[in-house]
């Protein structure tokens, strides 16, 4: 197979401006089948915005987005569901695609919430709801999975299990995953490609390369980079406290 056919979504120099302020700019990245691309960066660095650009939620963007698949599963970071809707977990699973009862049960079992199948969505705890969100996204066997902090609010053991599940899904379904995570340890072990954002792409590459990068260290601190290894190299700009870029 040539690599062209493996590309699921490709951002080229993409950016999004809201109220004359760039939320993120100049992002180039590619998600391929069977690969996990992870976005890291501090709060407000444009991770979720980048995910929404890739998904085509934002319409008036700068740069280019090419999406080669419509089989998408999305776990948003924030989701506000209006509880005037009577909605059970099993109704929610069928939200964007009609899938078989068997697939629903399988996905709910994988994320450990099969016992909640007939519960009202409004009665779930934060962590339970998060597991349902993940189950819904994987149940439709997507080609592209976009996970925006998928394990927020999930208990510690569950967190590890869910990350393992995500890795498994990427292997078994050979779907591409765009992951946003704050858990640097997971990021550095399970990812194929890391993009470090701070309003723009600070650095990107394999987890090893990124961990060695000085900007990564500047953003996350020395401790974070020691997760893998320490390596010094020159960088051409620094960030002010407001996140603005200053050339050296």
Partner 1 sequence: MFDDFFVRALFAGIGIAFVTGPLGCFVVWRRLSYFGDTLAHSALLGVTMAYTLDLNIAISVFLISSVIALILIQLQKKTNLPGDALLGLLAHSSLAVGLVVIGFLTFIRFDIMGLLFGDILAVTTDDLLIIWTGGALILLVLKLIWKPLFASTVNYELAEAEGLNPDRAKAIFTILMAAVIAISIKMVGLLLITGMLIIPAAMARNISDSPQKMVIFSIIGGLLSVVLGLYSSLEFNTSSGPSIIAASLALFILSLFKIKQSIKLKN
Q: For partner 1, which residue of 76, 150, 176, 199 counts as binding (CB under 8 A)?
A: 76
**Residue in 2, 43, 70, 157 binding partner 1, rule: CB under 8 A:** 70
Stretch that binds partner 1, among 1-9, 55-63, 104-112, 174-182 (CB under 8 A): 55-63
161 binds partner 1 (CB under 8 A): no
Smallest separation (angstroms) from partner 1 to the CB of 87:
6
State in angstroms the smallest separation of the CB of 42 from partner 1: 23
Tell me: does residue 62 bind partner 1 (CB under 8 A). no
Under the binding rule (CB under 8 A), the answer on residue 46 touching partner 1 is: no
* End-to-end CA, the chain: 43
Contacts 24+ apart (CB under 8 A), 117-122: 117/88, 117/89, 117/90, 118/88, 118/89, 118/90, 119/88, 119/89, 120/86, 120/87, 120/88, 121/81, 121/87, 121/88, 121/89, 121/91, 121/92, 122/81, 122/83, 122/87
- How far apart are the C-alpha atoms of 10 and 28, rounded to whole Å? 7
* Cα–Cα dist 108/89, whole Å: 9
Interface with partner 1 includes 209 (CB under 8 A)?
no
Binding window for partner 1 (CB under 8 A); candidates: 12-20, 80-88, 154-162, 186-194: 80-88
Binding status of residue 88 toward partner 1 by CB under 8 A: yes
- Closest contact distance (angstroms) between CB of 53 and partner 1 is 11
Please, which residue, 144 or 151, has the CB nearer to partner 1?
144
What residues contact residue 163 under an 8 Å CB cut-off, 6+ apart? 151, 183, 186, 190
Candidate list 97, 103, 183, 209; residue touching partner 1; CB under 8 A: 97
Q: What distance in Å separates the CA atoms of residue 219 and residue 236, rounded to the nearest whole number?
A: 15
CA distance 247 to 239: 9
Residue ranges binding partner 1 (CB under 8 A): 52, 55-57, 70, 72-74, 76, 79-82, 84-88, 91-92, 95-98, 120, 140, 146
């Amino acid at each position: 197979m040539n690599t062209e056919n493996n590309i699921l979504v490709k951002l080229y120099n993409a950016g999004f401006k809201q109220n004359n302020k760039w939320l993120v700019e100049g992002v180039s990245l590619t998600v391929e089948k069977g690969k996990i691309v992870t976005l890291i960066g501090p709060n407000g660095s444009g991770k979720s915005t980048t995910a929404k650009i890739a998904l085509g939620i934002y319409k008036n963007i700068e740069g280019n987005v090419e999406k080669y698949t419509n089989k998408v599963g999305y776990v948003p970071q924030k989701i506000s569901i209006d509880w005037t809707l009577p909605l059970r977990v099993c109704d929610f699973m069928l939200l964007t695609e009609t899938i078989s009862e068997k697939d629903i049960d399988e996905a709910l079992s994988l994320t450990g919430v099969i016992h909640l199948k007939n519960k009202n969505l409004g009665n779930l705890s934060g962590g339970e709801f998060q597991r349902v969100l993940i189950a819904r996204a994987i149940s439709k066997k997507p080609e592209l999975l976009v996970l925006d902090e998928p394990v927020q609010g999930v208990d510690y053991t569950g967190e590890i299990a869910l990350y393992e599940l995500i890795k498994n899904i990427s292997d078994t379904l050979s779907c591409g995953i765009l992951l946003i995570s704050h858990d640097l340890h997971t990021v550095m072990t399970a990812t194929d490609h890391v993009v470090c954002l701070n309003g723009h792409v600070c650095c990107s590459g394999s987890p090893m390369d990124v961990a060695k990068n000085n900007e990564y260290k500047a953003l996350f601190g020395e401790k974070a980079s020691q997760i893998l290894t320490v390596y010094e190299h020159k960088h051409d700009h620094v960030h002010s406290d407001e996140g603005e870029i200053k050339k050296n």
